[in-house]
Amino acid sequence: ASIFAAVDMAPRDPILGLNEAYNADPRDQKVNLGVGVYYDDNGKLPLLAAVKAAEAARLSQAPARGYQPIEGPAAYNNAVQNLLFGADSDLAAAGRLVTAQALGGTGALKIGADFIKRLSPAAKIYISDPSWENHRALFEAAGFTVENYPYYDPATRGVDFAAMKAALLSYAPGSVIVLHACCHNPTGADLTDAQWAEVVEACRERALVPFLDMAYQGFADGIDADAVAVRAFAASGLQFFISSSFSKSFSLYGERVGALTIITAGKDESARVLSQLKRVIRTNYSNPPIHGGALVSTVLASGELRAQWEGELAGMRDRIRAMRSGLVDALKAQGVAQDFGFVVHQRGMFSYTGLSAAQVERLKTEFGIYAVSTGRICLAALNSKNLGYVAGAIAKVV
């Protein structure tokens, strides 16, 4: 018999499965609100002009393709730190930062998880309830037990902060707390600045290990404003982890550009931490690919391209905001009695709409509108052409 005869069929990824069903749907007016990808007002995946310029310059030089350092190039890693902590970071000056280029945000989480497994194999991992669906799977695959901390409260459509804080204060020292630094996926509900300060204090009090997932910097209020949580932890003196992703902010999804940053207690510790992190990387994929990272560091190093990129990022952010208020207005205009005003206050790409699984199913079968069964929709998949159709369909199912 084949050595694979006993291999079971794995369950389909729920969101990628949605894409397959959408692609197979013959209806002209179909809309895919399931994906976590930014589309422009024509429903197209953009190639940012700043990225295009950096790419043209790079390709015109026809550069050779040698191996990169295991942790990626210093220029890239410094650019990552600059986005996270600002230009004149005390942490960088104190030698407290270890950054390694990684294969997207997912790759950053994975090398972080593998590093923590070596450091503290019995640590428990806590993720928000709910969270990005890959958080649990990724940390479990790294050998950890993963549990949820209370987060979203459907009654208020916000964060049940009292429950979250009480839970944090009950966890064993050394537990790893995965936090969405901004633009919470899937709910769109973020903590306030004051609540972040309390989370920092809870982590200090219980000696918890914060792991901030920064996948959407710039999608809520801007580069610096969205780094509030990162900078609150930076000011705390604690040690922590950050995964960065440039998939969304540079529209470089398939290039797999991200980074892991570890904030240590000091220079000597940083050298030792980096040496161990390099072992993790070396045994996974040896060293990161060049192209996407080079585009990001080129854009960030050039005053002109960086300004252009910030403008394009602001354009994406503003368009999503316009779709939020546009959806709320269109639902009102359709005579929907239920108040959807909360959609305007949610942040980032997603909204937990409160639509039930049955309503989501009706959107699909009757209208060819695809959303996640939890009621999560991606606002960045709405545009001036499909907004009215989507609002009309939602009006019919609520």
- Among residues 213, 226, 309, 364, the one annotated as catalytic is 213
Q: Which of residues 204-243 bind ligand PLP (CB under 6 A)?
A: 213, 215
Binding residue for ligand PLP, selected from 258, 288, 292, 326, defined by CB under 6 A: 258
The smaller minimum CB distance to ligand PLP, of residues 106 and 297, is found at 106
Q: Which of residues 273-302 bind ligand PLP (CB under 6 A)?
A: none
* Rounded Cα–Cα distance for residues 276 and 149 (Å): 29
Q: Which of residues 132-151 bind ligand PLP (CB under 6 A)?
A: 132
Q: Which stretch binds ligand PLP (CB under 6 A): 101-109, 203-211, 315-323, 334-342?
A: 101-109
Does residue 72 belong to the site contacting ligand PLP (CB under 6 A)?
A: no
* Rounded Cα–Cα distance for residues 313 and 305 (Å): 12
- Among residues 132, 160, 196, 364, the one annotated as catalytic is 132
The smaller minimum CB distance to ligand PLP, of residues 132 and 161, is found at 132
Per the annotation, the verdict on 268 as an active-site residue is no
What tokens were used for 262? 């570890």
| Number of shown-chain residues binding ligand PLP (CB under 6 A) | 12
Q: Which stretch binds ligand PLP (CB under 6 A): 19-27, 77-85, 104-112, 304-312?
A: 104-112
Per the annotation, the verdict on 224 as an active-site residue is no
The smaller minimum CB distance to ligand PLP, of residues 187 and 298, is found at 187
Token pair 């994929």: residue: 285
| Contacts of residue 298, Cβ cutoff 8 Å, sequence gap at least 6 | 54, 57, 58, 305
Q: Which of residues 166-195 bind ligand PLP (CB under 6 A)?
A: 180, 185
The smaller minimum CB distance to ligand PLP, of residues 138 and 263, is found at 138
Q: Which stretch binds ligand PLP (CB under 6 A): 18-26, 103-111, 280-288, 370-378?
A: 103-111
Check: CB of residue 168 under 8 Å from CB of residue 149: yes
What tokens were used for 144? 């950890």
Does residue 105 belong to the site contacting ligand PLP (CB under 6 A)?
A: yes
Per the annotation, the verdict on 364 as an active-site residue is no
Does residue 261 belong to the site contacting ligand PLP (CB under 6 A)?
A: no
Does residue 245 belong to the site contacting ligand PLP (CB under 6 A)?
A: yes
**Smallest separation, CB 252 to ligand PLP (Å):** 9
Residue 370 CA, chain-centre distance (Å), reads 21
| Contacts of residue 45, Cβ cutoff 8 Å, sequence gap at least 6 | 37, 38, 39, 251, 253
Binding residue for ligand PLP, selected from 101, 106, 128, 251, defined by CB under 6 A: 106
Q: Which stretch binds ligand PLP (CB under 6 A): 74-82, 100-108, 169-177, 297-305?
A: 100-108
| Contacts of residue 242, Cβ cutoff 8 Å, sequence gap at least 6 | 84, 181, 211, 212, 213, 214, 230, 260, 261, 262, 263
Q: Which residues are catalytic?
A: 132, 213, 248
Binding residues for ligand PLP (CB under 6 A) = 36, 104-106, 132, 180, 185, 213, 215, 245, 247, 258
